[in-house]
Amino acid sequence: MREIQFREALREAMSEEMRRDSRVFLMGEEVAEYNGAYKVSQGMLDEFGPDRVIDTPISELGFAGVGVGAATNGVRPIVEFMTFNFSLVAIDTIINAAAKMYSMSGGQYNVPIVFRGATGNAGQLGAQHSQNFENWYANTPGLKVVVPSTPYDAKGLLKSAIRDDDPVIFMESELMYGDKGEVPAEEYLIPLGVADIKRPGTDVTIVSFGKIMKVALAAAQELEKENISAEVLDLRTVRPIDYAAVVESVKKTNRLVIVEEAWPLSSIATEISYHVQKYAFDYLDAPIHKVNNLDAPLPYAPTLIQEILPNVEKTVKAVKAVMYR
């Protein structure tokens, strides 16, 4: 099977859906003339023209609102934020308009829109450009939240997101755009809300999503050297969460560690912990452990960044804590 970059998988997903459905269009800062801040939309302006690949002013609240209005009038926008840190400027439109429109209109208006862009730490970008809001958006009824970890997942999930009749938050990582992975040339879709076992195991379940899957998988490799078999489960979407897949894995391994790049309070890891102790308590042989960011803004210094973020060492330590208690 061919290998392509993460950014190319996203571009293929958008381009294929725009060829399939003339109602789909892309808008955002630098998506057209500059080919995208991370070159995700490279070449799309040439193919689809300025009416369907639209450069916007630096005004997230404005162009997010335009997107929501367009979606309620029969088209299917893809709105790119250069980073989801900037989506805070538009959060009123996302939370109070896009997410609530269907409910408040009594089902008269769908909002088939995708908000996509980069999330989380991407190195030395400072505290205001290094935050994770997956759990914020996942807390909102009416939204779906997708965080892919591979080019294959990115393409299949984005195509499903574009076809979905609800607003979808689609969160990527600057540090993954150059990652390569196997992606079929033929069309495929991945349904939203379905987790994936990226590595089977028998002794402990490690749950993660997004780029921190790299940490989870690397930790599983290290643990294998000590004869600990870790099953690594990729949530892929954090609203809806595939709770059944997590519970089934825990029933098999009897131990759970959740690794997430986010502050610990009210995190996705906290939600999963609650659900597992409620529905699989009798299967647990040890308390659930979480590996989150430390509860502080991300510093600029690279040494301090590594202290705050989840890493392989912290994950291995958490697994050993549930194995050898």
Global pTM reads 0.96
Q: Which positions ≥6 away from 265 have C-beta within 8 Å?
A: 295
Taken in order 7, 9, 12, 13, the sign of the CA dihedral is negative
Q: Would you name the residues annotated as active-site residues?
A: 60, 129
What digits encode the pLDDT tens for the residues 143-153? 999 999 999 99
Specify the DSSP class assigned to residue 115.
E
Cβ(243)–Cβ(214) under 8 Å? no
Q: What is the pLDDT of residue 48?
A: 98
pLDDT more than 70, % of the chain: 100
Report the distance separating Cα 270 and Cα 166, nearest Å: 25
What digits encode the pLDDT tens for the residues 122-173? 888 888 888 999 999 999 999 999 999 999 999 999 999 999 999 999 999 9
Q: What is the pLDDT of residue 325?
A: 72
What digits encode the pLDDT tens for the residues 176-195? 999 999 999 999 999 999 99
* Structural domains in the chain, sorted by start: 3-182 (3.40.50.970), 196-323 (3.40.50.920)
Cβ(56)–Cβ(24) under 8 Å? no
